[in-house]
Amino acid sequence: MGERKLTPPRIVTVLLLVCAASFQLLRASDDVDDAIFYESFDENFEGRWIVSQKDEYNGAWKHEKSEGHDDYGLLVSEKARKYAIVKELDEPVTLKDESVVLQFETRLQNGLECGGAYLKYLRPQEAGWKPKGFDNESPYSVMFGPDKCGATNKVHFIFKHKNPKTGEYVEHHLKYPPSVPSDKLTHVYTAILKPDNELRILIDGEEKKKANFLSSEDFEPALIPPKTIPDPDDNKPEDWDERAKIPDPNAVKPDDWDEDAPMEILDEEAEKPEGWLDDEPEEIDDPEATKPEDWDDEEDGEWEAPKIDNPKCDSAPGCGEWKRPMKRNPAYKGKWHAPLIDNPAYKGIWKPRDIPNPDYFELEKPDFEPIAAIGIEIWTMQDGILFDNMLIAKDDKVAASYRETTWKPKFAVEKEKQKEEEDSVAASSGLADLQKKVFDLLYKIADIPFLSDYKLKIHDLIEKGEKQPNLTIGILVSVVVVFLTIFFKLIFGGKKKPARVEKPSPAPKETKANESGVENEENKEKEETSAAAPRRRTTRRD
């Protein structure tokens, strides 16, 4: 499908968006100094970003333009590959006493069926990692961004926190995170970490999730452990009875209770339906089946025709030997069991007693590790994932300003193009439905008996129209013209045949000449009839 040209109103719209973006860019230039870190990928990433040299990370990163824009980004260029690349910050960023905003753009240019497009905000190298050895085990403080594969469809927010009692780092996952947009447009993801323990997740500037770092309702596992835990050394006493109900020990089976009575018995009142075909089997050999030519009785055994349902049984109540049906036995009672009564020794469901949790601690706010680098470490089955405009700032207004200048203009252009493509597909679909109805109608017209002499010509026209749908109207007009021509010819008649003049036959010699004249007259009539009928033009086919 070719690209549709922008209509004048849409051109004006796009120009206004570009002008607005230029104004916003000038206005936001003052915000650059407010950004702790900003990467636009306007310049090639080589020499500034370090690609992991581990063998498993063999995906090729490229510095490419975003599709349909002059704006560059960092591109995942190959399918079914692992990718790892990292950029160190000039100074580590603390996440404790003031707001920090993490923001970046991604565009899934070929869609995302299975893969991640998230960032890892890494701890300082003293934690035990090197840029050229960056991999899945490299310690991070925060992991944030979209991930989709199979049942997974979410915008991750995971932070690692050190338990002050055990010294172990634990991953805490955001519960019920927002889902990933399913289109191929550029989207901007924002995480705002506030000093009052609040987390806000925005997609395209719209808040999708709000959480509290200290709440067990928002993170799994909870940041602060429970005060008490079940005692691992506590065991259930041997005489502990957890049965709420027990059989009545005083109950006695009634004398008339027959445990051996069957559940079903023959229905002695049933009668064979009238018309039952006793001598007809339910299945017969398929009369249309034939023994395969390559069938070898010695190797394959004696050939038997496959079975099919006996067609005679379709119109009869049944075939074959009739047997009395079974019915439920009214005397059936089954195995006798004593009724249940409340258990006087019941103590409830046992559980171990709670003891103080030795790993419990209290916090007023998370003790985040500082961020010293930004890394992308993903495994994806998709190519065409573009990362752009990575930002770390201390003010969400700065992040909002960047969204206005770097993301919004691109998104508006992509959205407009998407709408045009959707309109074009819808129009093409509607036209295709109309064309199909037209062609179906033309085929029916060609089957009208008095058009039989022109059926091949009409079929030729229809076939041409099916191969070249843009000729549909012309084909329809041509068929209508043919139809009207034949119609008027039937009403008013065709050309009159010339009158034949009988000459006297003077001599036997002239007999031959007369015969020749008659033949000429007949040939002339045939030529005129042939001229009156439309000729079927032969078409050269490739």
How many domains does the chain divide into?
A: 2
Among the candidates 486, 518, 535, a domain finishes at: 486
Residue 382 in any domain: the answer is yes
Count of C-beta atoms within a 10 Å radius of residue 145: 21
Residue 380 in any domain: the answer is yes
Residue 263 in any domain: the answer is no
Residue 455 in any domain: the answer is yes
Annotate 8-50 with DSSP letters as a single string.
Answer: HHHHHHHHHHHHHHHHHHHHHGGGGGGEEEEE---S--BTTBE
Task: Note the maximum CA span of the chain.
Answer: 142
Residues β-bridged to residue 340? 247
Q: Verify that 94 and 195 share a domain, yes or no.
A: yes
Q: What are the residues whose beta carbons fall under 8 Å from the beta carbon of 396, sequence distance 6 or more?
A: 99, 101, 190, 192
**pLDDT (average), residues 427-447:** 71
Q: Verify that 403 and 443 share a domain, yes or no.
A: no
Angstrom distance (rounded) from CA 346 to CA 236: 14
Q: What is the pLDDT of residues 190-239, one digit of tens each?
A: 999 999 999 999 999 999 999 999 999 999 999 999 999 999 999 999 99
CATH code, 69? 2.60.120.200
**pLDDT (average), residues 40-62:** 95
Residue 13 in any domain: the answer is no
The helix or strand, by DSSP H or E, that contains position 399, with its residue range, turns out to be: helix 396-402
Q: Verify that 372 and 481 share a domain, yes or no.
A: no
**pLDDT (average), residues 111-123:** 90
- Domain of residue 64, residue span: 35-230+364-409
Across 222-255, b (16+ Cβ under 10 Å) vs e yields ebbbeeeeeeeeeeeeeeeeeeeeeeeeeeeeee
pLDDT at 494 over 90: no
Q: Verify that 98 and 200 share a domain, yes or no.
A: yes
Backbone torsions φ then ψ of 227, nearest 5 degrees: -65, -35
State the pLDDT at residue 156. Answer: 96
State the pLDDT at residue 194. Answer: 96
State the pLDDT at residue 198. Answer: 97
The residue type at 459: H
Residue 61 in any domain: the answer is yes
Q: Verify that 379 and 466 share a domain, yes or no.
A: no
Annotate 34-92 with DSSP letters as a single string.
Answer: GEEEEE---S--BTTBEE---TT--PPEEEEEPTTSS-EEEEE-SSSEEEEEEEEEEEE
Residue 30 in any domain: the answer is no
Q: Verify that 481 and 381 share a domain, yes or no.
A: no
**Helix, strand or coil, per DSSP, at residue 432:** helix
Of 19, 74, 110, 47, the C-alpha closest to 378 is 74
Of 42, 43, 40, 82, the C-alpha closest to 61 is 82
Q: What is the pLDDT of residues 395-435, one digit of tens each?
A: 999 999 999 999 999 999 999 998 888 888 777 666 666 67
Count of C-beta atoms within a 10 Å radius of residue 192: 20
Q: What are the residues whose beta carbons fall under 8 Å from the beta carbon of 130, sequence distance 6 or more?
A: none
Q: Verify that 135 and 187 share a domain, yes or no.
A: yes
Q: Verify that 378 and 455 share a domain, yes or no.
A: no
Among the candidates 486, 519, 536, a domain finishes at: 486
Question: 510: pLDDT confidence band, cut at 50, 70 and 90?
Answer: very low
Residue 281 in any domain: the answer is no
Q: Verify that 86 and 190 share a domain, yes or no.
A: yes
**pLDDT (average), residues 76-103:** 94
pLDDT at 540 over 50: no
Beta strands in 124-231 (DSSP E): 140-149, 152-162, 169-174, 186-193, 198-203, 206-212, 219-220, 228-230
**pLDDT mean across residues, the chain:** 83
Of 367, 402, 377, the C-alpha closest to 202 is 402
Of 443, 448, 470, the C-alpha closest to 458 is 443
Among the candidates 378, 409, 440, a domain finishes at: 409
Which has more pLDDT, 471 or 79? 79
Q: Verify that 373 and 448 share a domain, yes or no.
A: no
Annotate 304-333 with DSSP letters as a single string.
Answer: -PPEEE-GGGTTSS-BSS--PPEEE-TT--
Q: Verify that 372 and 470 share a domain, yes or no.
A: no
Q: What is the pLDDT of residues 268-281, one digit of tens each?
A: 999 999 999 999 99
State the pLDDT at residue 425. Answer: 78
Q: Answer for the pair 369, 262: CB distance below 8 angstroms, yes or no.
A: no
Q: Verify that 404 and 465 share a domain, yes or no.
A: no
